[in-house]
Amino acid sequence: MTTRIMSLIIFLSSSNVAKKRNTRFQAESLKARLL
């Protein structure tokens, strides 16, 4: 499960390089939801 989350976050951050703040926020909220 952890590997999936990490790869998902990496995918989001790599696909949205221009929106670093939004990506970071989404990743944190995703973590909060899953954890």
How many CB atoms are located within 10 Å of the residue 31 CB?
Answer: 11
Residue pair 27/9 in contact (Cβ under 8 Å)? The answer is: yes
More confidently predicted of 35 and 25 = 25
Is the overall model pTM greater than 0.85, yes or no?
A: no
pLDDT of residue 26: 79
**What confidence score (pLDDT) does residue 14 get?**
73
The pLDDT value given to residue 19: 63
Sign of the torsion formed by the C-alpha atoms of 10, 14, 16 and 22:
positive
Read off the pLDDT of residues 3-33 as tens digits, 9 standing for 90 and up.
Answer: 888 888 888 777 666 566 667 777 888 888 8
What per-residue confidence (pLDDT) applies to 16? Answer: 62
